[in-house]
Amino acid sequence: MNDDATSNRSHNLLEDQALDRAQLETLAAGEKPCTLVRCDLEKVALSRLDLGNWTFDNCILRRAAFIGAKMEGSQWLGCRGGFADFTGSDLREARFEGCDFNNSNFRGATLSSASFERCKLTGANLTETKSMHAVFEETILADARLPGFAFRKAQLKQLDFQMADLRKCDFRQSVFEECSLRDANLAGCRFEGADLRGADLGGIQLVDARQFKGATISRDQAGQLLAELGLNVR
């Protein structure tokens, strides 16, 4: 039996519907998690509902509120959720793929072992998240707020941190591949053992060169950083 058939038996499937809070409360009270396909939940309040292991497939989630919701193991595929609010939600082991959550609020959310692949998180707020083992790949985090985020020993692939707030982030022993840190706020970050050769370091305000102590950078990058200090490299 194929995986789709097995999934349909274990999930309630709803397609092409506009759902409100009352309908979602009824579904959440059921024994099976739900798979929502191309459903419209714009501006719907789903706060504090138990949506663990639910799947949201190509759904409209703009300005939807998931405040304090339990969504461990949920899947988000191709969703459009600008300005959605995930404040304090439980997203442990959640998977986000191909989603647009620009300007969304994840403040205080639990993102342990969650993954974001090919997502847009421009302007998103990830302040005070619990993010151990969270994975980001091919994702736009330009102008996002991630102060204190732990990226230690991470393989960072095609991440755009342009103009992001990365104060006090832990990048120790991480490897950057085709990433951008251009104009990002790196005050207080730790880079010991990091390989930054695959990162664009343009526009960085080098307040304290010691934060890059022990990191690996290219000759061109060294020239960029020295130029920020007003030194000419010949």
Task: Give residue-wise pLDDT tens across range 77-106.
Answer: 999 999 999 999 999 999 999 999 999 999
**Is residue 25, in this structure, part of any structural domain at all?**
yes
Q: What is the pLDDT of residue 233?
A: 58
**64 lies in some domain:** yes
Domain end, chosen from 53, 87, 108, is at 108
- Same domain for 234 and 173: yes
More confident residue, 159 or 229: 159
Q: What is the mean pLDDT of residues 62-78?
A: 98
Under 8 Å between Cβ of 110 and 91 = yes
Residue 137 lies in a domain: no
Contact of 211 with 184, CB cutoff 8 Å? no
pLDDT at 208: 60
Does one domain contain both 93 and 35?
A: yes
Structure tokens at 231: 């030194």
Burial class of residue 15, CB neighbours in 10 A (0-12, 13-18, 19+): exposed
In this model, does residue 16 exceed pLDDT 70?
A: yes
Question: Two tokens at 131?
Answer: 């993010």
Of 202, 193, 207, the residue nearest 220 (C-alpha)? 202
pLDDT tier for residue 224 given thresholds of 50, 70 and 90: confident
Per-residue confidence band for 143, with pLDDT thresholds at 50, 70 and 90: very high
Which structural domain range is residue 215 located in?
A: 146-234
Confidence of residue 202 (pLDDT cuts 50, 70, 90): confident
Looking at residue 2, what is its pLDDT?
A: 46
Structure confidence at residue 207 (pLDDT): 64
Does some domain include residue 204?
yes
Q: What is the CATH number of the domain that holds 156?
A: 2.160.20.80
Claim to verify: residue 91 and residue 12 sit in the same structural domain: yes
Task: Give the mean pLDDT of the chain.
Answer: 92
- Contact between 202 and 220 (Cβ < 8 Å): no
In this prediction, residues 11-32 reach a mean pLDDT of 95
Separation between Cα atoms, residue 49 and residue 60, nearest integer Å: 18
Q: The tokens of 125 are what?
A: 């707020």
CA distances from 185 to 14, 107, 124, 167 (A): 43, 19, 15, 6
Q: Is residue 119 part of a domain?
A: no
Count of structural domains, the chain: 2
CA distance 115 to 99: 12
